[in-house]
Structure 1
Amino acid sequence: MFLGTHSPRLDEKGRIILPAKFREELAGGLVLTKGQENCIYVFSAREFEKVHADMVGAPMQNRQARDYNRVFLSGASDEVPDKQGRVTIPATLRSYAGLDRELVVIGAGNRAEIWNAQSWETYLQEQEKAFSEIDEDAVPGNTK
């Protein structure tokens, strides 16, 4: 499970050093893809297979499902971290997420997310107030 907030930097070759806490789970391979809110989702290869299996179950007749699958999968890149725990983020994904040198990597349960540091701060400021006001009935998976 991916948890926490980390602040690595993007090097001049477009690589990021994965947070130490995430390396074991991602050592066998990972998939980077476009995330919502202009971040990059990072899945272990095993978790990405589960996500993909769920996507395959969506009816092809559903236009929203087709559109989502196209954007999500066309931007995907499978990668293997090097011995130092570095992974290259493809230029198309760096551009999509507006990544520059300063990054934030957050744990989001079944995935990690890579954010432009300023975009993350803006997003977090907007969401923290709403977070404190969320009704327990609106939280997915919340059982009483």
Structure 2
Amino acid sequence: MNLGVAVGVMFRGVNPINLDAKGRMALPARYRESVREHSEGRMVVTIDTEDQCLLLYPQPEWDEIQARIDALPSFNKAVRRIQRLLTGHATDLELDTNGRMLLPAPLREYAGLDKKIILLGQGNKFEIWSETLWSSTRDAYLQADDGDEIPAELQTLSL
């Protein structure tokens, strides 16, 4: 079963990280080699339009997403909103020799990032959360009984 995850790079896990005083985060060592191989250390960060977090993609994955976004009809208000938010906030990043990336101040502000952050693996991308906001969001997810029906594609998974 294909869930649409890119084969070239795989990110999983909850990774607590500290931002330094300049707003740089170090990519955990276990991901650095695959990011350098897959995207020559180039990544793109943008805002999540649904949650107060950031999305961090290797450049090739982002290029595919941006191509799909660009192909949508911009005269549609909902599409234009997504184009402005995702593409408008997209910022190119590059791993330095120590595996660090500088997160832009406006994006750090949007996500409420301070010293303690969470890098949450999501297959072909990471989400970057403030540690406090992630903890409360995770707890809300664990306690949720909102009656949403699980999609048929997920019902066949055996965990």
TM-score, scaled to structure 1: 0.90
- Using the alignment, how far apart are the partners of 1:44 and 1:69 within structure 2? 19
- The runs of at least 4 consecutive aligned structure 1 residues that moved more than 6 Å come to none
Residues 1:30 and 2:25 aligned together: no
- Using the alignment, how far apart are the partners of 1:64 and 1:91 within structure 2? 27
2:58 partner letter: S
Question: Which residue number in structure 2 is paired with residue 47 of structure 1?
Answer: 61
Question: Which residue number in structure 2 is paired with residue 73 of structure 1?
Answer: 87
- Note the alpha carbon deviations across 1:62-98, whole angstroms, 9 max, x for none: 1101111101111111011011100000001110011
- SS of corresponding position for 1:121: helix
- Using the alignment, how far apart are the partners of 2:59 and 2:125 within structure 1? 11
Match runs of 1:1-144 below 5 Å? 1-27=10-36, 28=40, 29-35=42-48, 36-130=50-144, 135-136=149-150, 138=151, 141-142=153-154, 144=156
Measured after TM superposition, the shift of residue 60 of structure 1 is: 1.8
Structure holding more helix per residue? 1
CA 1:52–1:25 in structure 2 vs 1: closer, same or farther (change >3 Å)? Answer: farther
Measured after TM superposition, the shift of residue 21 of structure 1 is: 2.6
Measured after TM superposition, the shift of residue 127 of structure 1 is: 0.7
2:68 partner letter: D
- Note the alpha carbon deviations across 1:1-60, whole angstroms, 9 max, x for none: 110000110001110001223223333200011113111100000000111121122222
**Sequence identity (%):** 31
- SS of corresponding position for 1:41: strand
- SS of corresponding position for 1:70: helix
Q: Which structure 1 residue ranges, 5 or more long, are not aligned?
A: none
- Using the alignment, how far apart are the partners of 1:83 and 1:55 within structure 2? 32
- Pairwise CA RMSD: 1.9
Tell me how many residue pairs correspond in the alignment: 142
| 1:26–1:45 contact (8 Å) kept in structure 2 | no
